[in-house]
Amino acid sequence: MSTRRTLKAFHLASTLWFVLCVGFILVVALRQAGFRWWIIFSFAGHSALVVFLLVSLYLFAVFRGVSRTQAIEIEHPLTSTDYYMVFYAVAPFLGALAGCLATIGENRVTQFLAGIAVGTFATTFLVWVIVDPLASSLEPLLTPTGRRHRTERLVQVRAEKARKQRERQQLLADILTKEDVERQHWQQVLKPQAEKLAELLLTADATGFKRAEQQAIELGLSAWQLGGITCMRQLRDMAIQISRQKNQGGLIADYVSFWWDGIGSWRSPRLAT
């Protein structure tokens, strides 16, 4: 079994032991507060799933940290060593041993077990929550080599981030330029259709409405085949603009939005009820 797999096994066992000790402390505290066993079991039953999910997420995060290859060992000369990782993984068991030694001579079994549980909890909290984050944060700053490597790495990270940002901005600019060129091309190609569609909007009446609708549908279908929904929107906007120029001061009914309902992905606006 490799060192990494051994560390995983130790960490799994120590985490389960830590959870067991915390559960024991809670049960003892509830009993001392006067809660009956059936209330404790009921509470434990409802919270078991939540505890299981939290522990699973925690184990996933920790396993990734234990199993990953330390890519910046020069910045972490202590916490990247196998000795430290072993110490980190067995910290709960060391706390249990300390609690056991501290309660030697205790006649009551409950107090003896409580001492082991408290020792486990205190040591695990001290090592996993305080010592390890503090050591990992201070290590890169304690040696000249570590500081220099950290500075160079952060400069590279910022440079890579700036490069990706420039690439995204250039990609966006290229897309906008392409869309602008495409709109200009459609502006010329769609001009005859837009004028015809504008004429249909201006001349549609009760007697010729059905014929105007059919012709408008043909124009919309042609625009869809040419450039999809974007092309249809541009044709409709051009027709509305031409209609307003020809009918100064008059109201223009936007029949196009309803005539084209169902062509490609075009959907007519919902009417207010």
Q: What pLDDT score does 127 carry? A: 87
Averaged pLDDT, 124-144? 83
| Percent of the chain predicted with pLDDT > 90 | 8
Of 103, 98, 95, 97, nearest in space to 128 by CA = 95
253-270 pLDDT, tens digit each = 888 888 898 888 888 776
SS3 28: helix
Read off the pLDDT of residues 180-193 as tens digits, 9 standing for 90 and up. Answer: 888 788 788 888 89
Nearest residue to 264 via CA among 223, 215, 213, 211: 223
Q: Is 235 a residue whose pLDDT tops 70?
A: yes
pLDDT at residue 137 tops 90: no
For residue 152, the model assigns a pLDDT of 82
Q: What is the pLDDT of residue 36?
A: 56
C-beta neighbour count of 124 within 10 angstroms: 22
Cβ atoms of residues 246 and 198 within 8 Å = yes
Between CA 259 and CA 200 the distance in angstroms is: 11
- Are the CB atoms for 186 and 228 separated by under 8 Å? no
Cα separation values, 242 from 84, 148, 170, 217, 261, Å = 77, 67, 35, 18, 22
* Own/partner long-range contacts of 188-194 (Cβ < 8 Å, ≥24 apart): 189/226, 190/223, 190/226, 190/231, 190/234, 190/235, 190/238, 191/238, 193/219, 193/222, 193/223, 193/235, 194/235, 194/238, 194/239, 194/242
Q: What is the mean pLDDT of the chain?
A: 78
State the residue for tokens 């290859």. Answer: 69
Q: Which pLDDT value is given to residue 184?
A: 82
Each residue's pLDDT tens digit, 113-133: 888 888 888 888 888 888 888
Q: Residue 180: what are its φ and ψ, rounded to 5°?
A: -65, -45
Three-state SS for 228-263 is HHHHHHHHHHHHHHHHHHHCCCCCCCCCHHHHCCCC
Give residue limits of the domains in the chain. Answer: 3-142, 190-259
pTM recorded for the entire structure:
0.48
| CB-CB neighbours of 239 under 10 Å | 26
Asked if residue 156 has pLDDT above 60, the reply is yes
φ, ψ (nearest 5 deg) of residue 45:
-65, -40
Angle between helix 209-246 and 191-203 (nearest 10): 110
Assign 223 to helix, strand or coil: helix
**Residue 38 confidence (pLDDT):** 46
pLDDT value at residue 164: 93
pLDDT at 166: 93
Lowest model confidence (mean pLDDT) among 10-14, 20-24, 143-147, 221-225: 143-147
In this structure, the number of other CB atoms found within 10 A of the CB of residue 169 comes to 10
CA 180 – CA 19 distance, rounded (Å): 61
